[in-house]
A and B are shown apart, each in its own frame.
Chain A
Amino acid sequence: MSGLPFYRRERNQHPPAYSPGYKSSVLRAPFRPLVSPEQTELDTSGPTFGHDMLGPLDNDLIRNASQGGEALGERIIVHGRVLDENARPIPNALIEVWQANAGGRYAHTNDGYLAPLDPNFSGCGRTISDAEGYYRFRTIRPGPYPWPNNGSDWRPAHIHMSIFGEAFSQRLITQLYFEGDPLIPLCPIVNTIPDPDVVQRLVARLDFKNQMPFDSLAYRFDIVLRGRRQTYFENREEGA
Chain B
Amino acid sequence: MLSIAQSESQQRAVLLQQQDALLRALVDGSQIPRGFDAAQVEIAATSLARKRRREAAKAWPTVVRWLGRDFELRFAAYAHNFPLPTHGGPLADGLAFLSSLARETPLPDDVRLARFAVGLRYRWRSRGLHLRVGPAIKVLLLRRPIRWVIGVRLAFCRTDANIKIKIVTAPWSKC
**A associates with B:** no
